[in-house]
Amino acid sequence: MPDSPILITGGAGFIGSHLAEALLARGERVRVLDNLSTGKRANLPDSERLEIVEGDVGDLAQVQRAVAGCRAVAHLAAVASVQASVEDPLGTHRSNLIGTLNLCEAMRQAGVRRVVFASSAAVYGNHGEGRAIDEDTPKAPLTPYAADKLASEHYLDFYRRQHGLEPAIFRFFNIYGPRQDPSSPYSGVISIFAERARLGLPITVFGDGEQTRDFFYVKDLVALLLQALDTSEPGSEPVNVGLDRATSLNELLATLGDLLGGLPPVSHGPARAGDIRHSRADNRRLLARYRASSVTSLRDGLAALLEAPARS
């Protein structure tokens, strides 16, 4: 059914809008289901092949309507803020777990099989800190956000075994790029630093700046999601998405300074309580299953981010 659309839940958000753009660019029809809580219509291009449905994944009837006639689904809708899930576990649960379950049920009923799911490195909690984290690392969800992501993985696996769903589950580490909300717990730091550096505003780093993350450029992620939508065999096990490269915040700032020919004043504040110090993905499964040949370096990704229009 090459003419039937691909549904992107959360398609008006940061990652979803990049995926929508890429699918439209290769001639696909795209349907977006988004409640526009953090996503924006302005993130999406104008296209007659794009249908935007304002609706909630927590509402089964709306999900059923959105799934009807689709070829495959990229399930990205979620309250992506860990902090929001701590403050409102019930509200986020409706989006982050009930939303996944509604989608599984609607797909089963409609006979749609392929779904790509955005899980998170948060499922590992503090386990594996200081080494590359592989997918078999014990799971230790420390927040409602992480618990809902892990439970979503289990529901998707149940629907795979019981009803023939074909989920491709990715555990994203820190995705960054244009249009990211600076308040994102993942790589919001990149948007904040880039924006302030570009405007010449002072920058504050929490702690000594030696904490590290594994940053992955959003367009490289989209290339993986497209492969997962297309592949004949998505595999049943979750796959980490990261570069297996630790970048410290100090290194990040130095690269930004290099690209911009200087930085505004940088000061250091107290470290944030509960912050994980180091997080890095073991990505051997990713490299074995997917083509990740043209991965963007941090320097090139930051350069692209600096060139992109600022978020309105």
Ligand X SMILES: NC(=O)c1ccc[n+]([C@@H]2O[C@H](COP(=O)([O-])OP(=O)(O)OC[C@H]3O[C@@H](n4cnc5c(N)ncnc54)[C@H](O)[C@@H]3O)[C@@H](O)[C@H]2O)c1
Positions marked active-site: 145
The answer to whether 31 touches 75, Cβ cutoff 8 Å, is no
| Minimum CB distance to ligand X smaller for 19 or for 132 | 19
Amino acid (1-letter code) at residue 13: G
| Minimum CB distance to ligand X smaller for 58 or for 234 | 58
252 contributes a contact to ligand X by CB under 6 A = no
Q: Which residues, 147 to 186, sit near ligand X by CB under 6 A?
A: 172, 174-175, 181, 184, 186
Instruction: Write b or e for each residue in 65-75: b if 16 or more Cβ atoms lie within 10 A of its Cβ, otherwise e.
Output: ebbeebbbbbb
CB of 147: closest distance to ligand X in angstroms?
13
125 contributes a contact to ligand X by CB under 6 A = no
Residue (of 172, 194, 227) closest to 15 by Cα position: 172
Tokens of 292: 């990740």
Residue (of 52, 46, 64, 57) closest to 12 by Cα position: 52
Stretch in the footprint of ligand X (CB under 6 A) among 27-35, 133-141, 275-283, 290-298: 27-35
Start-end of H helices in the chain: 14-25, 60-67, 82-87, 89-93, 99-110, 144-163, 188-199, 218-230, 249-260, 284-289, 298-307
Q: Which residues, 41 to 60, sit near ligand X by CB under 6 A?
A: 56-58
CA distance 135 to 118: 15
| Minimum CB distance to ligand X smaller for 80 or for 253 | 80
Of 7, 77, 189, 305, the residue at the interface with ligand X (CB under 6 A) is: 77
| Minimum CB distance to ligand X smaller for 266 or for 295 | 295
38 contributes a contact to ligand X by CB under 6 A = yes
In the beta sheet, which residues pair with residue 170? 118, 239
144 contributes a contact to ligand X by CB under 6 A = no
Of 85, 95, 212, 240, the residue at the interface with ligand X (CB under 6 A) is: 95
Stretch in the footprint of ligand X (CB under 6 A) among 74-82, 83-91, 231-239, 264-272: 74-82
Of 5, 16, 167, 242, the residue at the interface with ligand X (CB under 6 A) is: 16
Cα distances from 148 to residues 35, 84, 92, 144, in angstroms, run 19, 13, 9, 6
| Minimum CB distance to ligand X smaller for 159 or for 186 | 186
124 contributes a contact to ligand X by CB under 6 A = no
Sign for the pseudo-dihedral over CA of 236, 238, 77, 8: negative
The answer to whether 248 touches 193, Cβ cutoff 8 Å, is no
Reduced to 3 states, what is the DSSP secondary structure of residue 248? strand
283 contributes a contact to ligand X by CB under 6 A = no
| Rg, C-alpha atoms of the chain | 19
CB of 261: closest distance to ligand X in angstroms?
28
Tokens of 232: 């004949």
Size, binding site for ligand X by CB under 6 A: 33
211 contributes a contact to ligand X by CB under 6 A = no
Of 5, 13, 177, 178, the residue at the interface with ligand X (CB under 6 A) is: 13
| Minimum CB distance to ligand X smaller for 80 or for 222 | 80
Instruction: Please give the residue ranges that form the binding site for ligand X (CB under 6 A).
Output: 9-10, 12-16, 33-39, 56-58, 76-80, 95, 99, 118, 120, 172, 174-175, 181, 184, 186-187
